[in-house]
Amino acid sequence: VKVAVVGAGLIGRAWTVVFARAGFDTAVWDVAPDATEAALAFCRARLPELAAAGLLAEAPAAVLARIVAAPTLAAALDRADYAQESGPERLEQKQALFAELDRLAPSDAILASSSSAIPASRFTEALAGRARCLVAHPANPPYLVPVVELSPAPWTDPEVVRRSQALMRAAGMVPATLRREVPSFLLNRLQAALLAEAFRLVEDGVAGIEDIEATVKHGLGLRWSFMGPFETIDLNAPGGVADYCERYAPGMAAVVREARPPSWSPALVEMVDAARRESLPHAEHAARQEWRDRRLMALLAHKAAQPE
């Protein structure tokens, strides 16, 4: 399998690790030559850490040997089976980049976008090859968080969706496929619902930030690392989902009825930001991101050792 990573920022460089780790020949290209170089340096630094955490099946050098910095977009796409676009989250830029990808890629190559929120129909409608385009949205960073949301446009060939699912599984990812396009797909919609409620609880003075953090990290989040919301409620009532809904749906409905979005006013954002900066001074932000990644690696190793 040959893959082109187009756009080598935060997400493109992380995809490079995913594809090369899976045994795919991976060509990386970015408009900014510095970004391509930085992506290679990132892979050189990260692969030994993954190996140390037991998350790499072979030596880092063997994985690195499959990664090349392409001098041009055309070179990156040469004989590619699949292209993963990770350029800026701007509609005009996605439209321009996909026009180039469709012009330059082999006619049977799949063209996928990492877009976090923009459905594929917004930037592929006018393309001759629009049937081979879709969104493949990862979480950050994709080499540690395996879900990838596949969101086809109405005109995406179902065979392209099936091939993308198979390629992602072969890459060690877990595809979650949408049946119909919605902005922000699944992950960010679910996250938006939780964040809206969390900001509103703060805005209304119901609880402080540390108590909301504790509720998720010592409560909901523990279960969510191995079950989704439906399995969670299924196991929370002796008779399963129907029993749970009979007991608790009226209460949930009341919460949802009274819910309104928080203001996200400057004062509210400042309050949350100030609390976070008190817990985590800005100077320690990057170190804490590395801590998060180490915790994710440990959790992944733990999950891999558990029976399903």
Ligand X SMILES: NC(=O)c1ccc[n+]([C@@H]2O[C@H](COP(=O)([O-])OP(=O)(O)OC[C@H]3O[C@@H](n4cnc5c(N)ncnc54)[C@H](O)[C@@H]3O)[C@@H](O)[C@H]2O)c1
Residues at the contact surface with ligand X, assessed by CB under 6 A: 6-12, 30-32, 35, 86-89, 93, 97, 114-116, 137-138, 140
Question: How far apart are alpha carbons 162 and 192 in whole angstroms?
Answer: 28
Cβ closer to ligand X: 30 or 181?
Answer: 30
CB of 206 to ligand X, least distance (A): 29
For 248-260, what is the HEC assignment? HHHHHHHHHHHCC
Element (DSSP H or E) covering residue 82: strand 82-85
CB of 187 to ligand X, least distance (A): 9
Residue, CB closest to ligand X: 9
CA 131 remoteness from chain centre:
23
CB of 138 to ligand X, least distance (A): 5
CB of 249 to ligand X, least distance (A): 33
**296: Cβ contacts below 8 Å, ≥ 6 apart:** 144, 145
CB of 110 to ligand X, least distance (A): 17
Question: How far apart are alpha carbons 283 and 12 in whole angstroms?
Answer: 26
Give me 120's structure tokens.
Answer: 């594929």
Cβ closer to ligand X: 9 or 172?
Answer: 9
**Amino acid letter for position 19:** F
DSSP letter, residue 132: G
CB of 271 to ligand X, least distance (A): 24
141 prior amide bond cis, ω within 30: yes
Cβ closer to ligand X: 7 or 60?
Answer: 7
Cβ closer to ligand X: 122 or 223?
Answer: 122
Tokens 């994985």 appear where?
Answer: 63
Cβ closer to ligand X: 152 or 244?
Answer: 152
Cβ closer to ligand X: 12 or 175?
Answer: 12
CA angle 173, 100, 88 (to 5 degrees): 60
Report the DSSP pairing between strands 147-152 and 133-138. antiparallel
